[in-house]
Amino acid sequence: MSAPLQIPAAPYEFTLRPAEAALIIIDMQRDFLEQGGFGAALGNDVGQLRSAIGPIARVLAAARAAGMLVIHTREGHRPDLSDLSHAKRRRGNFAMGIGDAGPMGRILVRGEAGHGIIDELAPAPREPVIDKPGKGAFFATDLEAILRGRGIGKLILCGVTTEVCVHTTLREANDRGFDCLVLSDGTASYFPEFHQSALAMVSAQGGIFGWVAGSDIVANILNGAAS
Ligand code: C5J
């Protein structure tokens, strides 16, 4: 078996073999990144999230070239909203909420334009897309079965938002025994201070939730493995 790739990271080197690792791109959907979606309905400046697109695209290309499994997630609900809890529906008391009609279709509803992944990061054929009703990608999905079935133990996590769906997924993965590296510039938040704190929490205390590294270093190392 070949030696694992060694990625400089905080708090220390992260190692992986591409065949035993997956890149998980979390919720890079129009509903969070474009005007008229869920993020904007909550009063957020959706432009804050666009900085993550370029870094994710670079690591995505490198992961594909290295033969890594790539998984995309989307947060959203069934059209009849049967998987939407009352608590999530009413939270915030906003004028426009989940299931309501917006400029990109019904907010956070599967099959609507707003629910789709942005064109820049469109899934390739055969890349699993996980539809999740919650913030974490393991809750009420078959993500864990897909990973275990392929012998995956290492995850590279990116997407939006850092402190909500990325962190929830990270914590779920950590408790299930996966080693996770979070891309510092391939994640973003509507609140820059939350982004910074969320990243700091990952690698603090010897990597209590995992590792953090920038997209360039990760992409360079994966590209090296592909060549
Ligand atoms: C949120 C997410 N922020 N994908 N979802 O509601 O982080």
The pair of three-digit structure tokens given for residue 204, joined into one six-digit string? 């603090």
Active site residue: 31, 154, 165, 185, which one?
A: 165
CB-based contacts of 135, cutoff 8 Å, min separation 6: 75, 164, 165, 168, 169
- Whether the full predicted model's pTM is greater than 0.75, yes or no, is yes
Distance 31 CA to ligand 1 centre (A): 10
- Ligand 1: residues whose CB is within 6 Å? 27, 32, 75, 135, 160-161, 164-165
Distance 210 CA to ligand 1 centre (A): 20
**What are the residue ranges spanned by the domains of the chain?**
5-10+20-81+95-226
CB 49 within 8 A of CB 32: yes
At 80-126, the pLDDT tens digits run 999 999 999 999 888 889 999 999 999 999 999 999 999 999 999 99
Quote the CA–CA distance of 4 and 192 in Å, as a whole number.
34
- 27 included as an active-site residue: yes
How many contiguous H segments (helices) and E segments (strands) does the chain have?
Answer: 8, 10
Of ligand 1's listed atoms, the one at least distance from the Cα of 190 is 3
* The predicted structure's pLDDT at residue 1: 67
CATH 3.40.50.2300 fits 5-10+20-81+95-226, yes or no: no
